[in-house]
A and B are shown apart, each in its own frame.
Chain A
Amino acid sequence: MLPNARSEFLAGCRDMSPVLVGTVPFGFVAGVAAVGAGMTPLEGIALSLFAFSGIAQLVVAQLVAAQSPILVTLMAAFIVSLRFLMYSAALSPHVAHLPARWRVPLAYLMTDQGFAMGVHIYSQPGERRLRHWHVLGAGVTLWIVWQASVIAGAALGAQVPAAWSLDFVVTLSFLVLLGPALRTRADLAAAVVAGAVVLLAAGLPYKLSLVVSSLAGIAAGVAAEWMHRR
């Protein structure tokens, strides 16, 4: 490893560390949910290693608990992962110059937090040549802490009293990313429309409300920007 790569990697670890306060309870909740759904602890941990996505893991646990057909469960996991298509497209210009041995692990490590961090890292001025080490450090840090938290949740099971409302950390983890994402009025329009539509469409099956509302929000953002330009 070049000395510069090392310092970039460590900077990524450091950047991600404040986020971990949400990651630990969120991972714990996901581990508890898997075991609560009837999976063995080993299966719950394997799900986390394969999927590495809190929302996908929670949705799979919900549908496994409801004894949904495999195809329905996988379709729901796909639908809640559609946002990764959008994240992937948004980050791809920054990593397009890298070889596949870099792009494959960076893709695997990309999460909501990782995407927000990646956008932040690539928006900084200065030397960019080794910036993928920075992103890797952030991703690896989140991965290790996430998996450790899921393992703790899967091993300890549902011993956390419901009154602690630990699941609220899931919402808060995404809420703190929302503020910095609202830079313009068009961003605000996208968020308001998506937020309204997700509540109105809450009755749709298989978490489809997430996809419908995301697309509506994006359309609102594009429309708001288009009207502003005229």
Chain B
Amino acid sequence: MNAWIVIVGAGLVTFLTRASFIVFADPQKFPHAFRVALAFVPPAVLAAIVLPGLAMPHGAIDLSLANPRLLAGAAAFAVALKVRNPIVSISAGMVALWALQAAAG
């Protein structure tokens, strides 16, 4: 029973945040400063999602070369800057991680 409250509640929460401006607001009325700030949403949010996955593989910060996810992520990012196709860069990242894990035994 509780699971269904969580399921429907999570649905409401995610939909209302998505719908907030698209469905309920008039963008003509946004202040200029707000529009300037919006431009920085993608780099800030994406970096905040990505960094823990690279630098905290087991819950603690590990910025050493012994952290295969950091190196594999750097490889995938380098590929992504050259090749615009996500298939190539995501595959490169996974292959790099598997190779580093295999090398570390």
- How long is the Cα–Cα vector from A73 to B6 in the complex, in angstroms? 7
Knowing A178-B50, A222-B37 touch, does A92 contact B27 (C-beta < 8 A)?
Answer: yes
Knowing A18-B85, A202-B61 touch, does A74 contact B47 (C-beta < 8 A)?
Answer: no
Contact B44 A213 (CB under 8 A): yes
Q: Name the residue in A60, A115, A176, A187 with the highest tally of chain B Cβ atoms < 10 Å from its Cβ.
A: A176
Q: How many residues of B contact A (CB 8 A)?
A: 69
Contact B9 A210 (CB under 8 A): no
Residues of A52-66 whose CB lies within 8 A of B: 52-53, 55-57, 60, 64
Tier of interface size on chain A: 35 or more
Contact A86 B14 (CB under 8 A): no
Does any Cβ of B come within 8 Å of A182's Cβ?
yes
Tell me the minimal C-beta distance from B101 to chain A in angstroms. Answer: 7
Tell me the minimal C-beta distance from B7 to chain A in angstroms. Answer: 5
Contact B53 A168 (CB under 8 A): yes
Knowing A174-B49, A225-B36 touch, does A194 contact B90 (C-beta < 8 A)?
Answer: no
Contact B94 A168 (CB under 8 A): yes
For B53, list chain A residues within 8 Å (CB).
168, 170-171, 174-175
Knowing A43-B3, A56-B10 touch, does A92 contact B36 (C-beta < 8 A)?
Answer: no
Knowing A50-B11, A194-B45 touch, does A169 contact B90 (C-beta < 8 A)?
Answer: yes
Contact B76 A176 (CB under 8 A): yes
Knowing A172-B93, A202-B56 touch, does A86 contact B23 (C-beta < 8 A)?
Answer: no
Q: Name the residue in A82, A83, A225 with the highest tally of chain B Cβ atoms < 10 Å from its Cβ.
A: A83
Does any Cβ of B come within 8 Å of A198's Cβ?
yes
- How long is the Cα–Cα vector from A169 to B40 in the complex, in angstroms? 24
For A104, list chain B residues within 8 Å (CB).
19, 23
Q: Name the residue in B7, B46, B86, B97 with the highest tally of chain A Cβ atoms < 10 Å from its Cβ.
A: B46
Contact A178 B43 (CB under 8 A): yes
Contact A108 B37 (CB under 8 A): no
The 5 closest A-B pairs by CB, nearest first: A50-B11, A217-B44, A171-B53, A221-B40, A191-B47
CB<8 Å pairs between A and B, sample of 11: A46-B4, A81-B18, A89-B20, A104-B23, A175-B80, A177-B42, A179-B81, A180-B84, A194-B43, A209-B52, A213-B44
